[in-house]
DNA sequence: AACAATTTTAAACACTTGTTTAAAATAATT
DNA sequence: AATTATTTTAAACAAGTGTTTAAAATTGTT
């Protein structure tokens, strides 16, 4: 081993993630990434063979990381209500940190659904399993209204993603500055949380 | 005037809209559009001068149409509750008809916010004006909880958009077929509507 | 220090992109 | 019918794309 090849590899991955998040696969060029990583264009192919391979690597790692953090929350020994609140807060944090994530995930999955299925192939159903059981029990106990967790689980994601996916659109349609949007986003989160809890939990 | 130049022009616009919706500005090529419209590549430039000019034309007309239909609803002489229900149903219909619209709007606005502001420059605030007044009156009357219409208005859009923007992602993460997703979308709408109305309106 | 292996570079490659051109085909006008 | 104007086409253009190559620079090994 020589120099700091791992550092270079990591530098490229980080730059790639940044650029892909910002411009998407179609909009990002290998030269954009090279410039962001301050390396020669050919190096991306030296380390990752192709733009597409680099992309899927970055994409998969981001998705896996996102789902892992969700799983961690869902496996905690707490009530459904606590889990949902923590999930909402967590999702908000993640997307607030980088508002491009929401639209990036939606976008790239739509651009190439087959690639998503083939190369990522995540089974979200298995992950929910323990949560689903717990949810249904609390429904039986009369703590939660009669609704399927299959309806609620995707809803949680969507409710938070929605705030940030339409960020730029909202800012322009309603003439907000970035600071104003940040305030707006927090307000949205508050409303969504109250709305969801009031709807789901009895009493 | 000769042949059916208007037809050709319209044919290109329709094809462009279809392709742009599907692939976005970056992902769509002038050759894709030409093929979809069954015309020669050069014709798109003959009628519209450039890919970008064609794009903004299509984009603007779509946005204007979408906002106009919203405005029509907001100007009706009905209660806030009736307006919100009609707005939710209408937005759902629009996006259900073409699930690409939601992500397309968000995406293209983010890709080029300046172009959006410069070339579209829509004042959504003015459109809301009459609704805002009505909303605040109903809050005063004690019909609606104490909340600003500035919070609710963008929320309505987001709540419905969210269902369809993440369509492909949801389908793959939760392993749904298209038919299953359609059922899921209707269920989501029902929940969102109930949730919002229960939250907003007193008693 | 001399050699080998690895990493980095500049340059070029083949291909796709949006766009233009100049000729052909078609329609309108006289 | 002849001429003009308009529409359509095939072909080429310049610029940008991902990728490869072969030489240079750097690092590791003997």
The pLDDT value recorded for residue A22 is 96
How many percent of chain A have pLDDT more than 70?
A: 97
Is the pLDDT reported for residue A92 higher than 70? yes
Averaged pLDDT for residues B116-136? 83
Asked whether the beta carbons of A13 and A55 are under 8 A apart, the reply is no
What 3-state class would DSSP assign to B23? helix
Q: DSSP secondary structure string, chain A?
A: --SSHHHHHHHHHHHHHHHHHHHHHHH--HHHHHHHHTS-HHHHHHHHSSHHHHHHHHHHHHHHHHHHHHHHHHTSSS-HHHHHHHHHHHHHHHHHH-THHHHHHHHHHHH-HHHIIIII---HHHHHHHHHHHHHHHHHTTSB-S--HHHHHHHHHHHHHHHHHTHHHHHHHTT--HHHHHHHHHHHHHHHHHHHHHHHB--
Distance CA A73, CA B92 (A): 32
Is the pLDDT reported for residue A127 higher than 80? no
CB contact under 8 A, B125 and A194: no
Neighbouring C-beta atoms of residue A55, cutoff 10 Å: 22
Q: How confident is the model at residue A201 (pLDDT cuts 50, 70, 90)?
A: very high
Residue B203, chain A, CB below 8 Å: the answer is: no
Residues of A in contact with B187 (CB under 8 A): 151
Q: How confident is the model at residue B3 (pLDDT cuts 50, 70, 90)?
A: very low
Q: Which of B159, B175, B191 sits opposite A151 (nearest CB)?
A: B191
The pLDDT value recorded for residue A4 is 41
The pLDDT value recorded for residue B10 is 97
Nucleotide nearest residue B33, measured CA to C1': C18
A:B CB pairs within 8 Å: 153
Asked whether the beta carbons of B182 and A187 are under 8 A apart, the reply is no
The pLDDT value recorded for residue A117 is 84
| CA A104 / C1′ D24 distance in Å | 39
Residues of B in contact with A198 (CB under 8 A): 198-199
Q: Which of B26, B122, B153 sits opposite A24 (nearest CB)?
A: B26
Chain D bases closer than 7 angstroms to a protein Cβ: 5-12, 16-22, 26-28
Asked whether the beta carbons of A36 and A12 are under 8 A apart, the reply is no
| CA A46 / C1′ C7 distance in Å | 9
Which of A106, A140, A96 lies closest to B103 in space, CA to CA? A106
Which of A103, A180, A169 lies closest to B122 in space, CA to CA? A169
Superfamily covering domain A1-49: Homeodomain-like (1.10.10.60)
For chain A, domain boundaries:
1-49, 59-200
| Closest residue, chain B, to A28 (C-alpha) | B26
Is the pLDDT reported for residue A134 higher than 80? yes
Averaged pLDDT for residues A142-160? 96
Asked whether the beta carbons of B164 and A158 are under 8 A apart, the reply is no
Residues of A in contact with B173 (CB under 8 A): 122, 124, 154
- The C-alpha of A6 sits at a distance from chain B's nearest C-alpha, in angstroms, of 32
Task: Express each pLDDT in B139-186 by its tens digit.
Answer: 999 999 999 999 999 999 999 999 999 999 999 999 999 999 999 999
Is the pLDDT reported for residue A152 higher than 80? yes
Asked whether the beta carbons of B118 and B98 are under 8 A apart, the reply is no
| CA A73 / C1′ C7 distance in Å | 42
Chain C bases closer than 7 angstroms to a protein Cβ: 5-12, 16-22, 26-28
Question: What mean pLDDT, rounded, does chain A reach?
Answer: 93
Is A1 (CB) below 7 Å from strand D? yes
The pLDDT value recorded for residue A57 is 96
Length of chain A: 203
Is the pLDDT reported for residue A146 higher than 50? yes
Asked whether the beta carbons of A166 and B91 are under 8 A apart, the reply is no
Residue B124, chain A, CB below 8 Å: the answer is: yes
| CA B14 / C1′ C25 distance in Å | 25
Is the pLDDT reported for residue A41 higher than 60? yes
**Architecture per CATH, B58-200:** Orthogonal Bundle (1.10)
Range with the poorest average pLDDT among A4-8, A62-66, A98-102, B9-13: A4-8
Q: How confident is the model at residue A6 (pLDDT cuts 50, 70, 90)?
A: low
Is B29 (CB) below 7 Å from strand C? yes
- Quote the DSSP letter at residue B131: H
Is the pLDDT reported for residue A2 higher than 70? no
Nucleotide nearest residue B49, measured CA to C1': C19
Is A42 (CB) below 7 Å from strand D? yes
Residues of A in contact with B103 (CB under 8 A): 103, 106-107, 110, 165
The pLDDT value recorded for residue B119 is 79
Which of B115, B95, B98 lies closest to B18 in space, CA to CA? B98
Phi–psi pair at B201, nearest 5 degrees: -95, 130
The CATH classification of domain A59-200, taken from the options 1.10.357, 1.10.1060, 3.30.450, 2.60.40: 1.10.357
Asked whether the beta carbons of A192 and A159 are under 8 A apart, the reply is yes
The pLDDT value recorded for residue B1 is 34
Is the pLDDT reported for residue B127 higher than 90? no
| CA A2 / C1′ D22 distance in Å | 21
The pLDDT value recorded for residue B4 is 42
Is the pLDDT reported for residue B35 higher than 50? yes
Name the residue with higher pLDDT: B29 or B114: B29
Task: Express each pLDDT in A51-77 by its tens digit.
Answer: 999 999 999 999 999 989 999 999 999
Range with the poorest average pLDDT among A129-143, A188-202, B117-131, B186-200: B117-131
Question: What mean pLDDT, rounded, does chain B reach?
Answer: 93
- Quote the DSSP letter at residue B201: B
């Amino acid at each position: 081993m020589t120099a700091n090849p791992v550092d270079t590899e990591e530098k490229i991955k980080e730059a790639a993630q940044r650029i892909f998040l910002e411009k998407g696969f179609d909009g990002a060029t290998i030269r954009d990434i090279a410039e962001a990583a301050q390396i020669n264009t050919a190096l991306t192919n030296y380390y990752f063979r192709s733009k597409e391979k680099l992309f899927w690597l970055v994409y998969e790692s981001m998705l896996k990381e996102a789902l892992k953090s969700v799983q961690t929350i869902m496996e905690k020994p707490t009530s459904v209500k606590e889990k949902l609140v923590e999930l909402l807060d967590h999702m908000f944090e993640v997307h607030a940190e980088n508002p491009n994530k929401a639209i990036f995930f939606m976008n790239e999955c739509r651009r190439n659904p087959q690639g998503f299925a083939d190369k990522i192939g995540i089974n979200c159903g298995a992950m929910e399993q323990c949560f689903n059981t717990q949810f249904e029990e609390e429904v039986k106990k009369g703590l939660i209204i009669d609704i399927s967790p299959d309806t609620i689980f995707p809803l949680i994601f969507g409710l938070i993603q929605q705030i940030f996916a339409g960020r730029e659109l909202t800012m322009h349609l309603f003439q907000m500055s970035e600071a104003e949007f940040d305030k707006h986003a927090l307000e949205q989160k508050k409303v969504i949380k109250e709305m969801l809890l009031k709807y789901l939990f009895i009493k």
